[in-house]
Amino acid sequence: MKVASIFQDFLNLIYPSCCEACGMLLVVGERVLCTSCRYKLPRTNYWLQKGNPVEQMFWGRVPVVNACSLFFMGKGSSYRKLLHKLKYSNKPQIGVALGRLLGNELARAADYADVEFIVPIPLHAKRQRKRGYNQSEKIAIGISQATGKPLLTSVVFRQRYNETQTKKTREERWSNVSDIFALRPNAETLLAGKHILLVDDVLTTGSTIEACAVAMLKGASCRISVATLAVAK
Ligand SMILES: [Zn+2]
């Protein structure tokens, strides 16, 4: 047991923390989610399924090697709240914890075995300053901890501060994101010949991931797989 986790357990004795999904008090050794909520997470198992519905979302749009999401996000589910808290309630630890769950699955999935780098979808610098962190990067950190694959955060960035994506049609969303990502000068060398895992929090229309993947494939000869925490159901 690491010193940091002993310290965390000690803190939990004084300030007990609760499950972010159901609100029950967490016991020693539990982080972010209680054992029951962790067990009941509606996993997709798409990482084991070639041609799964998440992969199909990208067909005819951008070539991806594999794509999957960890769990289904139904309307009003307690797991939907988790993602909202990750983004808007200053709870980056939710991203790391769920990223680790996703990473544990990917570590055992043959199709993801040759992934070499994990790249989180970048936020615009202005939005990241406002939020204090990039939620996709927190998820990517969790995946990296579970799989042992290194994180790469210096290759792609958002060059345009786009307005919020909600309440837009698929076409409007695409025109809103098509040119917002750009590669940094060292990206071509770093990415050449590599299999990249592109990471985001939620998959809805897929247009943000598509735009980022298109920018990366345009600028470097790499292969891209995609993993998100949740997929809308
Ligand atoms: Zn719970």
219 within 8 A of 188, measured Cβ to Cβ: yes
Average pLDDT over residues 138-142: 98
Question: How remote is the CA of residue 8 from the centroid of ligand 1, in Å?
Answer: 18
Q: Kindly report, residue by residue over 157-209, the tens digit of the pLDDT.
A: 998 876 555 566 666 665 656 688 999 999 999 999 999 999 999 999 999 99
Least confident piece of the model among 20-24, 64-68, 102-106, 167-171: 167-171
What pLDDT sits at residue 173? 60
Q: Kindly report, residue by residue over 114-134, the tens digit of the pLDDT.
A: 999 999 999 999 999 999 999
- The percent of residues in the chain predicted with pLDDT above 90, rounded, is 78
The pLDDT of residue 225 is above 70: yes
DSSP string, 3-70: HHHHHHHHHHHHS--B-TTT-PBPPTT--SS-HHHHHH--B--GGG-TT-HHHHHHTTTS--S-EEEE
C-alpha distances out from residue 42 to 21, 39, 47, 53, 149, Å: 13, 9, 14, 15, 25
Question: How remote is the CA of residue 24 from the centroid of ligand 1, in Å?
Answer: 6
What pLDDT sits at residue 151? 97
Rounded mean pLDDT of the chain?
A: 91
The tokens of 121 are what?
Answer: 């979808």
The pLDDT of residue 1 is above 70: no
Place of tokens 């749009």: 61
Q: What angle do CA 129, 133, 134 make, to 5 degrees?
A: 110
Average pLDDT over residues 92-106: 97
125 within 8 A of 97, measured Cβ to Cβ: no
Pairing of strands 67-73, 156-158: unpaired
Question: How remote is the CA of residue 34 from the centroid of ligand 1, in Å?
Answer: 4
> Is the pTM of the predicted complex or chain greater than 0.85?
yes
Q: Kindly report, residue by residue over 64-77, the tens digit of the pLDDT.
A: 999 999 999 988 88
Q: Which residue has the higher pLDDT, 35 or 28?
A: 35
- The percent of residues in the chain predicted with pLDDT above 70, rounded, is 89
Domain covering 42-232: architecture: 3-Layer(aba) Sandwich (3.40)
State the number of CA atoms in the 13 A half-sphere of 41 facing the CB. Answer: 26
Pairwise CA distance, residues 81 & 37, whole Å:
13
The pLDDT of residue 60 is above 70: yes
Question: How remote is the CA of residue 38 from the centroid of ligand 1, in Å?
Answer: 7
CA dihedral sign, ordered 104, 107, 110, 114: positive
Pairwise CA distance, residues 153 & 190, whole Å:
11
How far apart are the two ends of the chain, measured CA to CA in Å?
A: 38
Q: What is the three-class DSSP state of 162?
A: coil
Residue 232: count of CB within 10 angstroms of its CB: 13
Which residue ranges make up each domain of the chain? 1-40, 42-232
C-alpha distances out from residue 70 to 84, 171, 187, 205, 214, Å: 16, 26, 28, 16, 23
Question: How remote is the CA of residue 164 from the centroid of ligand 1, in Å?
Answer: 30
CA dihedral sign, ordered 55, 93, 166, 209: negative
The pLDDT of residue 110 is above 90: yes
Question: How remote is the CA of residue 25 from the centroid of ligand 1, in Å?
Answer: 8
